[in-house]
Chain A
Amino acid sequence: MSQNILEIKDLFVQYSAGKDTVRAVNGINLTLEEGESLGLVGETGAGKTTTALSIMRLIPNPPGKITGGEILYRGENLMEKSEAEMRKIRGHEISMIFQDPMTALNPMLSVGDQIAEVIRLHEKISRADAMRKACAMMEVVGIEGGRAGEYPHQFSGGMKQRIVIAIALACNPSLLIADEPTTALDVTIQAQVLELIEQLKRKFNTSLLLITHDLGVVAEVCSKVAIIYAGEIVEYGTLKHIYENPSHPYTIGLFGSIPNLNETVHRLSPIPGLMPDPTKLPDGCAFEERCSQACEACGKGVMPYVEIEPGHMVRCIKFAGKEC
């Protein structure tokens, strides 16, 4: 059996905004095996990016704070690492691709410098060697190495994202976190970038945590899927589990909001309502208000996390043997 490269246990993250406390992540549990790809799916504000930043220990503090839980990377708790130890892990062991390539690159530095920076941080090589390696890395992501001296504003959005990917993979990390890597890009470019990520993942045998709100993207790249809602994992399973047997009402709702070309549908069925205000999360199930199958029992207590088939977990009272 392959080893777990990443294990998140009971992670809680809060942001304080004046008097209010935003409970962004509320007890997330996730595991990612070596070489595997896990898709973390949820809508805006569900706590996806917060989870990713927690793994890198890059939650801006203040106002954010990890208030509980453990994040184990290869069995070691990242929460207990010193800042200096974390710096050795960031960019070297765990890398991250950010959502918006337009703002993720420093406009004042040449792209070659920005790639070489991460190389020089983690490998003891000369400036010139690092630059040569940066050029090689640019070739790997499909950009002429000769353009290393150019600045971010001279590249298009898709090209910039390729450079961000080059930075993330330059030191051959074991774990890559991709936070909505394609959201800000044109549809045609999206496919190219996804393909590139997948291909490089295979080439370098990197484990991947892919964060997205796009179930289509997940289906293309991932083998496991976790659905996140209001800072909680509501459903977790293999790609097959989730796509063939979506069980949580929210997951079902997500699939209902996507147009399907194979069926003639007259009207999409979007999920009614909005995610609850993270400063005032309700007692009981966070999805209750929008759930068509909600009952009285949903309004109280902690929802049970039930394994409905081997490896397929659902956080819903329906599956706990209770009648609604």
Chain B
Amino acid sequence: MLRYIFKRILMMIPVMIGVTLITFSMMYFSPGEPADYILGELATEEDKALFNEQNGLDKPFLVRFVNYVVDAVQGDFGISYSTRQPVIKEILSCFPTTMKLSLYAELFAIVLGVTLGVVSAVRQYSFIDNFTRIIAMIGVSLPSFWEGLMLIILFSVILGWLPPSGLTSWKHWILPAFTLSTWGLAACMRMTRSSMLEAIREDYVRTARAKGQTQFVVIMKHAFRNAVLPIITVAGTDFAKLLGGAAVIETVFSINGIGKLIVDGINTKNAPLVQGGILFVAVAMSLINLLIDVIYAFVDPRIRSQYSSGKRIKRKSSKKATVS
């Protein structure tokens, strides 16, 4: 198991170099000089040249890229142009907020989504099933920024119950976390429903009934245990997606998370910040995917024995769930 995890982390390295190359070249080729943005319109050509030299911006592309990678491996992602702070410090100050927000959203999505999904599957075609299915369908069709704005109108403007922006008290978390959770909630519910429906029809569920087991235990112990794997995948990929997708929600609710940091960085040509931020999120996503695989092994004895018997595991580094 440990060997597998180690191998997977090793395999992340080339992928991360690829990610760095892509973000690096995008920032490199994007129009506009950082110096213009940072130094302002009044700066002279000499000032700009000095700035470029100080930041190594006068060197050719490849040299800059290699320098960046070498520094990045040592944990140095450069200096943010706007605040003159190390990028890594800025990222680390923003990341916990995004992480916490995503975590709350994901927890809510899993708890409610799985519950509704199970109920929906057990009572297939009932009123509650049809109702939750429609809600879930609307849930995956809701643009999150709009949902956020509408919730602000309702709960902040009209009812005045919850604050519309910022993150100073627990009340502030409710709207953004709920908005962020919507997509995952719907996805979780749909996946739970469909995989539960499949599991309920399995022979071993009939075996459990034939033992004289109660309906509740049959559903939870036998059917759900087997339906849980695809649900973990959906929840995991959704969580990884939240970290990246938080940008929009953070903008709507004016939250200083890593998504907003990156978006602001793009708007101000703050290349080191953007590169560092995206790389950081990509690493976080890959680690979450790895974590999902490890959880898989703990849940499913078939996969667990694959590791222990030392059989070669098919190589794959990243995955995407298919929600159906």
**Are any A and B Cβ atoms less than 8 Å apart in their complex?**
yes
Interchain CB contact under 8 A, B301 and A153: yes
Which residues in B have their C-beta under 8 angstroms from that of A153? 301-302, 305
Question: Are A151 and B212 CB-contacts (below 8 A) given A98-B203, A104-B203, A106-B204?
Answer: no
A184 to chain B, nearest CB (A): 11
- How far apart are the CA atoms of A87 and B202 in the complex, in Å? 19
Instruction: Name the contact of A108 in the complex, choosing from B203, B206, B225, B305 (C-beta under 8 A).
Output: B225
A318 adjacent to chain B (CB < 8 Å):
no
Interchain CB contact under 8 A, A104 and B207: yes
A99 to chain B, nearest CB (A): 8
Interchain CB contact under 8 A, B225 and A96: no
A295 adjacent to chain B (CB < 8 Å):
no
Q: Please classify how large the interface on chain B is, using the bins under 10, 10 to 19, 20 to 34, 35 or more.
A: 20 to 34
- How far apart are the CA atoms of A164 and B206 in the complex, in Å? 12
Which residues in B have their C-beta under 8 angstroms from that of A92? 212
Question: Are A117 and B301 CB-contacts (below 8 A) given A87-B213, A106-B226?
Answer: no
A304 to chain B, nearest CB (A): 36
Interchain CB contact under 8 A, B301 and A167: no
B172 adjacent to chain A (CB < 8 Å):
no
CB pairs A–B below 8 angstroms (23 shown): A60-B201, A86-B212, A88-B212, A90-B211, A91-B210, A92-B212, A95-B210, A96-B210, A103-B202, A103-B204, A106-B208, A106-B225, A107-B300, A107-B302, A108-B300, A109-B221, A110-B301, A117-B208, A151-B302, A153-B302, A164-B207, A167-B207, A168-B210
Interchain CB contact under 8 A, B226 and A108: yes
Which residues in A have their C-beta under 8 angstroms from that of B260? none
Q: Which B residues form the contact surface with A (CB < 8 A)? A: 201-204, 206-215, 221-222, 225-226, 299-302, 305
Interchain CB contact under 8 A, A58 and B210: yes
Which residues in B have their C-beta under 8 angstroms from that of A56? 209-210
Interchain CB contact under 8 A, A87 and B214: yes
A305 to chain B, nearest CB (A): 31
B154 to chain A, nearest CB (A): 40
Which residues in A have their C-beta under 8 angstroms from that of B225? 106, 108-109
Interchain CB contact under 8 A, A118 and B212: yes
Which residues in B have their C-beta under 8 angstroms from that of A106? 204, 207-208, 222, 225-226
Interchain CB contact under 8 A, B301 and A151: yes
A89 adjacent to chain B (CB < 8 Å):
yes
Interchain CB contact under 8 A, A167 and B211: yes
Interface members, chain A 86-129 (any B CB < 8 Å): 86-92, 95-96, 98, 100, 103-110, 114, 117-118, 121-122
A88 to chain B, nearest CB (A): 6
A173 to chain B, nearest CB (A): 10
B304 to chain A, nearest CB (A): 9
A154 adjacent to chain B (CB < 8 Å):
yes
Interchain CB contact under 8 A, A122 and B203: no
Which residues in B have their C-beta under 8 angstroms from that of A114? 207
Instruction: Name the contact of A100 in the complex, choosing from B203, B209, B213, B300 (C-beta under 8 A).
Output: B203
Query: Which of A60, A106, A164 is most buried by chain B, counting CB atoms within 10 A of its CB?
Result: A106
Interchain CB contact under 8 A, B207 and A98: yes
- How far apart are the CA atoms of A108 and B303 in the complex, in Å? 10
Q: Nearest residue in B to A94 (C-beta to C-beta)?
A: B210
